[in-house]
Amino acid sequence: MSAADRYGDPAAALRVANDVLAVQLAHRSVRRFGPRDVTEDELDAIVAAAQSAPTSSNLQPWSVVAVRDPARKARLAALAGNQAFIEQAPLFLVWVADLGRARRLAERSRRPLGAADYLESTLIGFVDTALAAQNAVVAAASLGLGTVFVGAVRNHPEAVAAELGLPPHTIATFGLSVGAPDPSEPAGVKPRLPRAAVLHRERYDAAVVDAHIERYDATLSAYNARFGLPGNWTDRVLQRLRGPESMAGRHRLRRTLERLGLPSR
């Protein structure tokens, strides 16, 4: 795969290349998995790669729960929109924004931790968790494994927390199904917005970058049609963000965070 594949545009080729870029440019979500397991050695490598991601002030405010038990995967799948690939994948990783570890440090040391009550600290937890998980995705791909993120674990975060035994001051941010891709899955490398639609130079210029959206809508419509899917990018964005009813219960997340011990002053 190449940048031309990533953008669905032969003119989008890059003038630099290496093995890491090749793995990243070839990324796609995998929703159908083959029979081979993910070994413990592979899991260790994936987590080591995740821990090599940047982390704000070396806080390391995340944890990950590896789920292999079929019954537990089935229960998590039911909580996450009944997505079959959660059960099918041999490994389901649940990434946790974890301020509980710092809270426990403060309790043991009998020292204050008032900054943990503010939105900035909650954001750091989510951002650092995402950075770590993306490192894990690239590591998995380098091992010949496919992945797909599952934001729907936030549909019922308190039930997911109970299923996983999460302590206070933590929340499951998203899941990640991991396994060997099934080569028969009808999927490809989905084109992204043109670089010129996201790359600003010196200052943000909405008029210039938004001029590329119409062309991208046509590119993505053609890609979707290959797999029998309707619609373009604009329609998808507006449908997904039309209102609280499109959020599968996640419009209540602020109150849920507070109940789980993650207030956001």
Q: What average pLDDT does the segment 110-136 reach?
A: 97
Tokens representing 241?
A: 């963000």
| 13 occurs within a structural domain | no
Q: What average pLDDT does the segment 17-36 reach?
A: 96
Pairing type for strands 91-98 and 62-67 reads: antiparallel
Q: What is the pLDDT of residue 2?
A: 84
Span 183-220, pLDDT tens digits: 999 999 999 999 999 999 999 999 999 999 999 999 99
Q: Where are the alpha helices (DSSP H) in the chain?
A: 3-7, 19-25, 40-51, 70-79, 84-88, 100-109, 119-142, 157-164, 195-198, 206-210, 213-226, 233-240, 253-259
| 48 occurs within a structural domain | yes
| 73 occurs within a structural domain | yes
d(CA 123, CA 108): 24
d(CA 105, CA 110): 8
Tokens representing 155?
A: 């549909």
In the predicted model, is pLDDT for residue 250 greater than 80? yes
* Number of compact structural domains in the chain: 1
Residue 246: band (very low, low, confident or very high) from pLDDT cuts 50, 70, 90: very high
DSSP letter (8 states) at residue 93: E
d(CA 176, CA 144): 15
| 100 occurs within a structural domain | yes
Q: What is the pLDDT of residue 150?
A: 98
| 255 occurs within a structural domain | no
Higher pLDDT residue, 153 or 4?
Answer: 153
| 214 occurs within a structural domain | no
Distances (CA, A) of 58 to 52, 62, 111, 114, 182: 11, 11, 19, 18, 38
Q: What average pLDDT does the segment 234-256 reach?
A: 96
Number of neighbouring beta carbons within 10 Å of residue 179: 24
Residue 263: band (very low, low, confident or very high) from pLDDT cuts 50, 70, 90: very high
Three-state DSSP at 214 gives helix
Span 48-100, pLDDT tens digits: 999 999 999 999 999 999 999 999 999 999 999 999 999 999 999 999 999 99
Residue 264: band (very low, low, confident or very high) from pLDDT cuts 50, 70, 90: confident
In the predicted model, is pLDDT for residue 14 greater than 90? yes
| 18 occurs within a structural domain | no
On the CB side of 116, CA atoms within 13 Å amount to: 23
What is the residue-averaged pLDDT of the chain? 96
What is the domain range of residue 141?
29-186
Q: Can you give the CATH number for the domain in which 59 is found?
A: 3.40.109.10
In the predicted model, is pLDDT for residue 151 greater than 80? yes
Span 130-144, pLDDT tens digits: 999 999 999 999 999
| 96 occurs within a structural domain | yes
